Chain A
């Protein structure tokens, strides 16, 4: 017997995973860049 599946459950889960991962990656890359550049600028001032 074929079980009934709501296709939107899979679509929403895929979009949540994809967009969540992309957003986390963008935030992490910007944050690490800002931190590294701040540390370099502070090292230059010393």
Chain B
């Protein structure tokens, strides 16, 4: 872990890993969505609207994975003071928030024909909406603490860890409370879905996960480059006596 603490070493790896993840992610996600849209069968009860699952489920997974990434990076930063941990947390926030928003919108678009309503205040939908607000709060706090403390990320790191409590709430909400939302179709090693639906879904999840990783690596490179440029300009200004 600490082997990657050196930003120069990280950049050497990210330079080839980022385009690889992004390219493979775009290709696999596009193929999976094409498979789901044109070749996968319609479902017996839900008909054609079941095709929304190939976007909705990967978005839900990555919305939650984004926050788990923030929580893991926050823990690493607080315990080991890893210099890239705060940068990794900041890089996870925007893609995590985007996928959470996509999950909510596609869920709403699926809910209207399936349930007859755009929205219900049940446990799963509400806890997912809370996750989106947690992302907004985390991004605002991260920006404010960066401006105030010159890059110290203690407050967002604590927020990132505390906010992780919402992840098991999202996951178990359909089991704990009576919900309009269906119970999990895929659990560890088991699936209630037929292969004709499951295979394009797993393919889509792989593609979007690689895309997410590519975006996180690109964001980390951008944040690192920004910090290096700022440090260089500050040193130059000091040496010139400003």
Contacts and interface: CB of A to CB of B under 8 A. Distances in A.
Point out which of A22, A26, A40, A44 has the most chain B C-beta atoms below 10 A from its C-beta. Answer: A22
B67 interface: no
Point out which of B211, B215, B225 has the most chain A C-beta atoms below 10 A from its C-beta. Answer: B225
Interface residues of B, number: 40
Given A26-B211, A33-B225, A36-B226, A14 B101 contact: no
Contacts of A32: 218-219, 222
Interface of A: 5, 7-8, 10-11, 13-15, 17-19, 21-22, 25-26, 29-30, 32-33, 35-37, 39-40, 42-44, 46
Q: Do most interface residues of chain A lie in helix, strand or loop, or is the interface mixed?
A: helix
Interface of B: 22, 26, 29, 33, 37, 47-49, 51-52, 55-56, 59, 94-95, 98, 101-102, 105-106, 109-110, 112-113, 208, 211, 214-215, 218-219, 221-223, 225-226, 228-229, 232-233, 236
Q: Do most interface residues of chain B lie in helix, strand or loop, or is the interface mixed?
A: helix
Contacts of A15: 33, 37, 51, 55
A1 B229 CA distance: 64
A7 B101 CA distance: 21
B221 A13 contact: no
A26 B222 CA distance: 13
Contacts of A43: 228-229, 232-233, 236
A1 to B, nearest CB: 12
Contact of B218 (A5, A18, A29): A29
Contacts of A42: 229
Contacts of B59: 18
B225 A17 contact: no
A33 B15 CA distance: 11
B210 to A, nearest CB: 12
B113 A5 contact: yes
Contact of B222 (A7, A29, A46): A29
Contacts of B226: 36, 39-40
A10 B219 CA distance: 32
A18 B51 contact: no
Contact of B215 (A18, A19, A29, A35): A29
